[in-house]
């Protein structure tokens, strides 16, 4: 079901002309016309004003969010791709970076950001996620690789987020779906859905309280050092 929804949304964004670079939208968190407006609308929300540290995804549609955060004096944390290093987060500090535009791109974040382990990450006030689709209840569909939920679980294990930490996504209105989406206890729910023209605040369910070890293969545990360390502690 999730894969069918993904394909439908990717096709629709492409055929409607809403998709933006990089092309095609398929197989990724799709960029969309109005991503800047959605970022501006997110920045108008009280959760944004209250946040000093934000964890953000690295994808193109949330680039305006990352840049806005730095310009507003907020520290931005991004995960190292696939959490493959022991120091599995990149810290973008607005006080030490000279070029916010360069530092917030996928390649620029690894060049200009400081790579840190979870112990060096400050408490996160707001999480911003990219989505392929999202329901009115806050059920999110990503690319299907599970890294966004896993990153949340790692932060939760280290006490850097909790049930009260707001999780937001910026999407185009065409990415809002009314399908029934099967979710598990490991799936992170969206508390705040922001489009170029509107704000939705789902009632939503609870958030995962940490890592669901039964869902992780030995191969993934070997590939992600921080998981191996957490399991052994």
* Range list of H helices, the chain: 2-16, 35-43, 46-50, 63-71, 100-103, 106-112, 147-157, 218-223, 225-232
Query: Confidence band (pLDDT; 50, 70, 90) for 70?
Result: very high
What are 19-28's pLDDT values in tens digits? 999 999 999 9
Average pLDDT over residues 70-80: 99
**What domains are defined for the chain?**
32-232 (3.40.50.10420)
Tokens matching residue 14: 């492409």
Ramachandran class of 152: left when φ > 0, alpha when ψ lies in -120 to 50, beta otherwise? alpha
Query: Confidence band (pLDDT; 50, 70, 90) for 72?
Result: very high
88 touches 113 (CB < 8 A) = no
What pLDDT is attached to residue 203?
87
Closest CA to 55 of 190, 194, 148: 148
The per-residue DSSP string of 139-163 comes to BEE-SSS-HHHHHHHHHHHTTS--T
| pLDDT at residue 142 is higher than 80 | yes
Closest CA to 193 of 167, 214, 212, 213: 167
**What distance in Å separates the CA atoms of residue 142 and residue 163, rounded to the nearest whole number?**
21
Tell me the percentage of the chain whose pLDDT exceeds 90: 91
């Amino acid at each position: 079901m999730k894969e069918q929804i993904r394909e439908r949304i990717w096709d629709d964004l492409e055929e409607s002309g809403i998709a933006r670079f990089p092309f095609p939208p398929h197989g990724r968190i799709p960029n969309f016309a109005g991503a800047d407006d959605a970022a501006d609308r997110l920045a108008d929300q009280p959760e944004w004003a209250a946040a000093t540290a934000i964890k953000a995804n690295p994808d193109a549609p949330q680039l305006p969010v990352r840049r806005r955060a730095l310009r507003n004096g907020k520290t931005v944390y991004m995960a190292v791709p696939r959490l493959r290093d022991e120091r599995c987060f990149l810290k973008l500090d607005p006080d030490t970076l000279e070029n916010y535009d360069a530092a917030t791109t996928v390649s620029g974040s690894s060049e200009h950001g400081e790579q840190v382990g979870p112990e060096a990450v400050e408490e996160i006030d707001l999480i911003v996620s990219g989505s392929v689709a999202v329901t009115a209840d806050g059920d999110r569909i990503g690319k299907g690789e599970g890294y966004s939920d896993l990153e949340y679980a790692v932060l939760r294990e280290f006490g850097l987020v909790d049930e009260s930490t707001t999780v937001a996504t910026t999407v185009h209105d065409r990415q809002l779906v009314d399908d029934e989406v099967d979710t598990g206890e490991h799936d992170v729910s969206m508390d705040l859905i922001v489009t170029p023209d509107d704000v939705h605040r789902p009632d939503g369910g609870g958030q995962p309280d940490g890592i669901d070890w039964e869902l992780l293969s030995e191969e993934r545990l070997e590939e992600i050092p921080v998981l191996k360390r957490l399991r052994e502690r």
